């Protein structure tokens, strides 16, 4: 619900995929990426190699440590009995206030509101990739009109009048942006002229 602050985007657990396995997958991805980056950097001339190699090797080492810790935790089953971390005064304050909010019944309502189904997520990505495809096929101006019209009609369930006005405004905005700032917009990629 909240934005993207340093502590704002942690999402506890993904249904059907245990947290420990999720961590291990992430750890292996880290090792692979940093290992690959270090290996590729070996072929660069010295001036170009120094930075990625230093960083890559350091990160490979740290990611291996991370993998070992998480693997050990999973094998020993410690995570299953892991108690809550010792809380700072700040964390206690935050928790206390969030409990107050929960008591108002608001937090539960918000959590319910923000719970998204996989199908909804797939649809959202479908719209985004569809817009990209339409941009490639017919150019940004026509794609904008088409995209706004269909999303407002189908997803937002607006009337045709509202959808058409929305599409017209957005298209006019894109054209005005291009004209006033002299910025070229994506043309149809297949257009031969």
Residues 9-48 that bind other proteins (CB under 8 A): 9-12, 14, 22-23, 26, 30, 33-34, 37, 40-41, 44-45, 47-48
Alpha-carbon distance of 62 to 57, in angstroms, equals 9
Output 43 or 193, the one with its CB closest to other proteins: 43
Of residues 74, 68, 64, the one with CA closest to residue 33: 64
H and E: helices and strands count for the chain: 7, 0
61 is a site residue for other proteins (CB under 8 A): no
Query: x-or-dash pattern for other proteins, window 85-104, by CB under 8 A?
Result: xx--xx--xx-xx--xx--x
Alpha-carbon distance of 166 to 185, in angstroms, equals 20
Output 160 or 186, the one with its CB closest to other proteins: 186
Output 182 or 193, the one with its CB closest to other proteins: 182
Output 5 or 192, the one with its CB closest to other proteins: 5
Quick one: which of 42, 78, 111, 172 contacts other proteins (CB under 8 A)? 78
Alpha-carbon distance of 159 to 167, in angstroms, equals 12
Alpha-helical regions (H) of 83-159: 89-103, 106-114, 118-138, 140-150
Alpha-carbon distance of 144 to 131, in angstroms, equals 8
164 is a site residue for other proteins (CB under 8 A): no
From the CB of 14, what's the least distance to other proteins, in Å? Answer: 6
174 is a site residue for other proteins (CB under 8 A): yes
């Amino acid at each position: 619900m909240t934005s993207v602050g340093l502590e704002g985007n942690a999402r506890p657990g993904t249904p059907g995929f245990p947290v420990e396995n999720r961590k291990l997958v992430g750890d292996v991805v880290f090792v692979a990426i940093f290992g690959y980056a270090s290996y590729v950097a070996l072929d660069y001339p010295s001036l170009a190699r120094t930075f990625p190699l230093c960083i890559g090797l350091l990160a490979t080492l740290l990611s291996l440590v991370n993998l070992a810790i998480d693997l050990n935790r999973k094998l020993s089953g410690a995570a299953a009995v892991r108690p809550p971390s010792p809380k700072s005064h700040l964390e206690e304050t935050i928790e206390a206030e969030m409990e107050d909010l929960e008591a108002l019944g608001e937090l539960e309502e918000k959590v319910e509101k923000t719970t998204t189904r996989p199908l909804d997520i797939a649809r959202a990505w479908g719209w985004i990739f569809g817009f990209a495809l339409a941009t490639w096929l017919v150019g940004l101006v026509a794609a904008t009109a088409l995209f706004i019209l269909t999303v407002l009609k189908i997803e937002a369930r607006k009337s045709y009048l509202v959808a058409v006005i929305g599409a017209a405004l957005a298209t006019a905005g894109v054209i005005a942006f291009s004209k006033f700032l002299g910025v070229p917009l994506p043309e149809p990629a297949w257009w031969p002229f």
